[in-house]
């Protein structure tokens, strides 16, 4: 399976440095423009299925992309949601006690379990197809760690993908996955 992975466009909360977690988020004017440029970049890709986080910021980005792929099934799933930051969600980043942030947010190991579940489900349904995942910064890091066979404690060493960054992976049954592109934002230039 060829997997295209992207992150939602910039949100008002990203711009205002607010921790979102499982909050829906609202695409900013820039975020809508980023999503439109991403959609144009992916316009000529033969995509067989789109899976998106069910949170509004990712879902809205996926809907913009899906306009160029009207016959492609679009699935909104919880497994692609951002890391659950629990009581930190909605707070300004500079108001968060970062010494407690990791230990009181959803564990990286739990994120790997949930992202692997949707990856396996997509692979089972579309093994010889091209699938698009629209997610978030941390969950995309967790997915990349699964593809690269990294342990949970190494996820925070993976680069946070910029808004609408595109990564492309070849997912193989033998788990010897291949990275074709990582966090590319050339469509925003």
Q: What is the CATH number of the domain that holds 65?
A: 3.40.50.1240
**Where in the sequence is the domain holding 125, given as residue range(s)?**
2-188
Whether 85 is catalytic is: no
DSSP for the chain? -EEEEEEPPPBHHHHTTB--TTS---B-HHHHHHHHHHHHHHTTS--SEEEEESSHHHHHHHHHHHTT-TTS-EEEEGGGPPP--GGGTTSBGGGS-HHHHHHHSPPHHHHHHHHHHHHHHHHHH-TTSEEEEEE-HHHHHHHHHHHTT--GGGGGGSPPPPTT-EEEEE--TTS--EEEEEEE-GGG-
pLDDT, mean of residues 72-83: 98
Whether 45 is catalytic is: no
Q: What is the tens place of the pLDDT at every residue in 105-117?
A: 999 999 999 999 9
Q: Give which of 27, 36, 19, 3 is closest to 182, Cα–Cα.
A: 3
Q: What is the tens place of the pLDDT at every residue in 26-53?
A: 999 999 999 999 999 999 999 999 999 9
Q: What is the tens place of the pLDDT at every residue in 126-147?
A: 999 999 999 999 999 999 999 9
Domains contained in the chain, number? 1
The catalytically annotated residue of 13, 82, 85, 106 is 82
pTM of this structure: 0.97
As a whole number of angstroms, the distance between CA 1 and CA 11 comes to 30
């Amino acid at each position: 399976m060829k997997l295209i992975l992207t992150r939602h466009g910039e949100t008002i909360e990203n711009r205002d440095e607010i921790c979102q977690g499982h909050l829906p988020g609202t695409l900013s004017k820039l975020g809508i423009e980023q999503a439109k440029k991403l959609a144009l970049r992916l316009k000529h890709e033969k995509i067989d299925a789109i899976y998106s986080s069910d949170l509004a910021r990712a879902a809205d980005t996926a809907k913009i992309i899906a306009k160029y792929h009207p016959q492609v099934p679009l699935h909104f799933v919880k497994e692609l949601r951002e890391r659950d930051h629990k009581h930190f969600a909605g707070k300004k980043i500079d108001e968060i006690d970062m010494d407690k942030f990791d230990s009181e947010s959803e564990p990286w190991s739990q994120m790997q379990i949930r992202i692997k579940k949707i990856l396996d489900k997509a692979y089972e349904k579309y093994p010889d197809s091209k699938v698009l995942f629209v997610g978030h910064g941390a969950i995309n890091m967790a997915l990349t760690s699964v593809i690269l066979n990294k342990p949970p404690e190494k996820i925070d060493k993976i680069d946070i993908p910029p808004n609408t960054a595109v990564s492309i992976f070849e997912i193989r049954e033998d788990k010897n996955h291949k990275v074709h592109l990582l966090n590319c934002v050339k469509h925003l230039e």
